[in-house]
Amino acid sequence: MSDDGIVMRIHKVRMEFVVAACDAELVGRDLPVGDAGRTVRISSQFYGERRVSREEVLWALERATIANLLGERVLRLAEEGGFVAAGGAGTLGGVPHAEIFSVTR
* Inside any domain, residue 69: yes
Distance, in Å, from the CA atom of 103 to the CA atom of 92, rounded to the nearest integer, reads 24
Per the domain annotation, does 14 fall within a domain? yes
Under the banding of pLDDT at 50, 70 and 90, the label for residue 55 is: very high
Domain membership of residue 79 (yes or no) is yes
What range defines the domain where residue 65 resides? 6-101
Burial class (CB in 10 A: 0-12, 13-18, 19+), 58: middle
Helix (H) or strand (E) holding 56: helix 54-63
Of the pLDDT bands very low, low, confident and very high (cuts 50, 70, 90), residue 105 is: low
- pLDDT confidence bin for 4, thresholds 50/70/90: confident
pLDDT digits (tens, 9 = 90+) for 19-51: 999 999 999 999 998 888 899 999 999 999 999
Residue 1 lies in a domain: no
Q: Are strands 51-52 and 38-41 parallel, antiparallel or unpaired?
A: unpaired
18 is a domain residue: yes
What is the signed CA dihedral for 22, 27, 29, 30, rounded to 10 degrees? 60
**Confidence (pTM):** 0.92
pLDDT band with cut points at 50, 70 and 90 for residue 103: confident
Which CATH number do you get for residue 83? Answer: 3.30.1860.10
What is the number of domains present in the chain? 1
